């Protein structure tokens, strides 16, 4: 399940930085911290929520520490398109469960049944959360984009699908490779967690 979170994790990092290099470094930091905590507590099934909590706790501080860092000064903008930046802002304004479901459903193309199984929640509840999340994003975008006319929940579905192209697979691959590299170097037994990133 963890590997499906990578785009959502990068999107969550956009709350704190619009630098591609910084977002990827922040995601790596959060993933490794979550690995250590989850490994210690043996609660690996809840690692997705743990990663989001870590990002929310350390994101602002890391962004400030790295503000004048030379290594990221030449980095591309993570979300260069204004519309995608506003969409990311809208997604990140939701509670983390709803936001994650929307990204997993619309970007990672997981089915409602797969999400129901992964989260051990009824299918009806998953459908309801996704629907309410789409409506909440539509309301958010209508509020901040008054000059663009009405934004429907259907339009939000299309925008969320497009978000997958913006959070490119290259960034996901880079973060995945760095996580595996660090786990291989510094962990005595990373087979359980490492397997999350191999596919």
On the question of pLDDT at 80 being above 90, the answer is: no
pLDDT tens readout for residues 137-158: 999 998 887 655 667 888 888 8
Closest among 107, 100, 114 to 48, alpha carbons compared: 100
Return the SS3 of 191.
Answer: helix
Mean pLDDT, rounded, for 60-89? 77
pLDDT tens readout for residues 165-197: 777 667 788 888 887 777 777 655 555 544 554
Tokens of 164: 């997958």
- Residue 19 has φ and ψ, to the nearest 5°, of -95, 125
Closest among 130, 137, 129, 128 to 155, alpha carbons compared: 137
Domains of the chain in start order, with CATH, are: 1-78+169-199 (no CATH), 79-167 (1.10.10)
pLDDT tens readout for residues 21-42: 888 888 888 888 887 776 655 5
- Residue 33 vs residue 69, higher pLDDT: 33
Q: How far is CA 120 from the centre of its chain?
A: 20
CB contact at 8 A, 8 and 47: no
Where does the pLDDT of residue 112 fall: very low under 50, low under 70, confident under 90, or very high at 90 and above?
Answer: very high
């Amino acid at each position: 399940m963890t590997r499906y979170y990578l785009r959502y994790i990068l999107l969550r990092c956009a709350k704190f930085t619009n630098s591609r290099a910084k977002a990827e470094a922040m995601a790596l930091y959060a993933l490794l911290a979550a690995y250590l905590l989850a490994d210690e507590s043996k609660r690996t099934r809840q690692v997705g929520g743990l990663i989001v909590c870590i990002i929310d706790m350390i994101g602002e501080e890391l962004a400030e520490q790295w503000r004048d860092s030379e290594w990221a000064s030449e980095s591309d903008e993570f979300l260069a398109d204004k519309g995608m930046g506003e969409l990311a802002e809208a997604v990140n304004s939701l509670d983390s469960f709803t936001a994650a479901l929307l990204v997993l459903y619309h970007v990672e193309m997981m089915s409602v049944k797969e999400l129901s199984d992964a989260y051990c929640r009824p299918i009806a509840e998953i459908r309801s959360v996704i629907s309410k999340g789409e409506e909440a994003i539509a309301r958010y975008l209508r509020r901040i984009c008054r000059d663009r006319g009405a934004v429907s929940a259907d339009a939000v579905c299309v925008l969320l699908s497009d978000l997958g192209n913006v959070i490119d697979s290259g960034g996901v691959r880079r973060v995945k490779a760095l996580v595996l590299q660090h786990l291989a170097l510094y962990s005595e037994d990373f087979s359980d967690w490492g397997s999350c990133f191999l596919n």
